[in-house]
């Protein structure tokens, strides 16, 4: 199993490949804002798949598609963290510590 740093490096490598594709197609890589807007589209797709998992939307192979979309969303979050120079691993751990302390109080 990969650790967080391995996942982060893999996510960033994929982002670089997307940037090359975007440059070929559009003459430039997407901006940080455009990456964030792409993430919003992924979140919308995720919401539809959650509805399918709950039985209120008919989407064939919804469970596999849900797993894929969750991974897409994780990739987007990791990419945005890199683009905005956020240490996501440290931020995640700090946030979980804060939430845990608040919930135990």
Query: How far is the C-alpha of 52 from the C-alpha of 63, rounded, in Å?
Result: 8
Query: Which pLDDT belongs to residue 103?
Result: 98
- pLDDT of 12: 98
d(CA 19, CA 25): 10
Tens digits of per-residue pLDDT, 41-93?
999 999 999 999 999 999 999 999 999 999 999 999 999 999 999 999 999 99
Backbone φ and ψ of 61, nearest 5° = 55, 40
Residue 2: what pLDDT? 85
- Which of 50-84 are b and which e, b meaning 16 or more Cβ less than 10 Å from the residue's Cβ? eebeeeeeeeeebeebbeebeebeebbbbbbbbbe
**What number of helices (H) and strands (E) belong to the chain?**
4, 0
Considering all CA atoms of the chain, what is the largest pairwise distance in Å, rounded to the nearest integer?
53
Q: What domains, with CATH codes, occur in the chain? A: 32-104 (1.10.287.1080)
């Amino acid at each position: 199993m990969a650790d967080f740093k391995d996942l982060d490096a893999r996510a960033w490598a994929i982002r670089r490949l997307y940037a090359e594709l975007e440059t070929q197609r559009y003459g430039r890589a997407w901006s940080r804002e455009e990456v964030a807007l792409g993430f919003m589209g992924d979140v919308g797709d995720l919401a539809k798949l959650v509805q399918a998992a709950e039985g209120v939307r008919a989407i064939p192979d919804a469970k596999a598609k849900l797993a894929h979309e969750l991974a897409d969303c994780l990739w987007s979050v990791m990419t945005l963290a890199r683009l905005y120079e956020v240490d996501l691993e440290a931020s995640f751990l700090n946030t979980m510590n804060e939430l845990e302390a608040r919930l135990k109080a």
